[in-house]
Amino acid sequence: MPSEPALSLSGVNAFYGDSHILHDICLELPQGEILALLGRNGAGKTTCMNAIAGLLPRRSGRIAVGRQDISALSPEAICRAGVALVPQGRRMFRSLSVEENLTVARRAAPPAGQRPWTIAQIYDLFPRLQERRANLAGQLSGGEQQMLAIGRALMTAPRVLLMDEPTEGLAPQIVAEVGAIVRNLRAAGLSVILVEQHMAFALGLADQVVVINTGRVVERGAASALRADMSRLEEQLGIH
């Protein structure tokens, strides 16, 4: 029998005030895989990440990490259950140093069975952060800030990493570096949801693809199958 998904959403609805944004979202992230969540600007990708992370005031449906239902948990408890968000825009403490940012992100008690990352391991993954360890986060380049945002998420010892547009605003060479990092994280056993507007980049990395439009899933499948029929995806993403 196949192992249960690392993360699953069934019938998830989410709202901002009276605005109904997500409609009956269902998706499954298999263990150790990368799922690309694609969609046009405003499709609801960030809302979906925030719903998983427990950051929306009003949502319904079931969200589970492995067998654990996290639907009713606080953001802190969802983090303890092994879900970490690398937010869009790489929010971090700009007036703290790189190393201080990593230190404050560390959690005392990792989820059961999870080995916490050490700062030394983060520096192994991102040697550039070690060179910049004493610099303020606000002084880093866009690519370095993205590495720090990922490093901060890893310090919480996640099983599931939610990456919300990690390549936004980065130069092509740095985008390729981020791609290599995401592959490394999968090789380290993490399961990843990669939110992207860059279709080719996401399809090159992902195992599974889900496309949403106006808060609804409009396409899903194995990345290998979708790569064979890019025109269909381009149409859904408004790329002509």
Ligand X SMILES: Nc1ncnc2c1ncn2[C@@H]1O[C@H](COP(=O)(O)OP(=O)(O)O)[C@@H](O)[C@H]1O
Planar angle of CA 195, 200, 206, nearest 5 degrees: 55
Residue spans of beta strands (DSSP E) within 72-227: 83-86, 160-164, 191-196, 208-213, 216-222
For the CA atoms of 174, 164, 228, 28, the dihedral, rounded to the nearest 10 degrees, stands at 140
Of the two residues 43 and 170, which places its CB atom closer to ligand X in the complex? 43
- Give residues 46-105 in contact with ligand X (rule: CB under 6 A): 46-47
Residue 46 touching Mg ion (CB under 5 A): yes
CB of 57: closest distance to ligand X in angstroms? 10
The residue to which tokens 């693809």 are assigned: 209
What's the one-letter identity of residue 12? V
Beta bridge partners of 150: none
CB of 228 to Mg ion, least distance (A): 27
Burial of 130 (0-12, 13-18, 19+ CB in 10 A): middle
Residue closer to ligand X, measured from CB, 44 or 110: 44
Least distance (Å) from Mg ion to the CB of residue 187? 27
Q: Which stretch binds ligand X (CB under 6 A): 15-23, 56-64, 100-108, 169-177?
A: 15-23
Site string for ligand X, 19-48 (x = CB under 6 A): x-x-----------------x-xxxxxxx-
- Residue 173 in the binding site for ligand X (CB under 6 A): no
Question: Is there a contact between 129 and 147 (Cβ–Cβ < 8 Å)?
Answer: yes
Separation between Cα atoms, residue 116 and residue 89, nearest integer Å = 25
In three-state secondary structure terms, 200 is helix
210 counts as binding ligand X under rule CB under 6 A: no
CB closer to ligand X out of 78 and 102: 78
CB of 179 vs ligand X, minimal distance in Å: 20
42 binds, among ligand X, Mg ion, none (CB under 5 to 8 A by kind): ligand X
Q: How far apart are CA 52 and CA 197, in angstroms?
A: 19
Residue ranges in contact with Mg ion by CB under 5 A: 45-46, 88
Residue ranges in contact with ligand X by CB under 6 A: 16, 19, 21, 39, 41-47
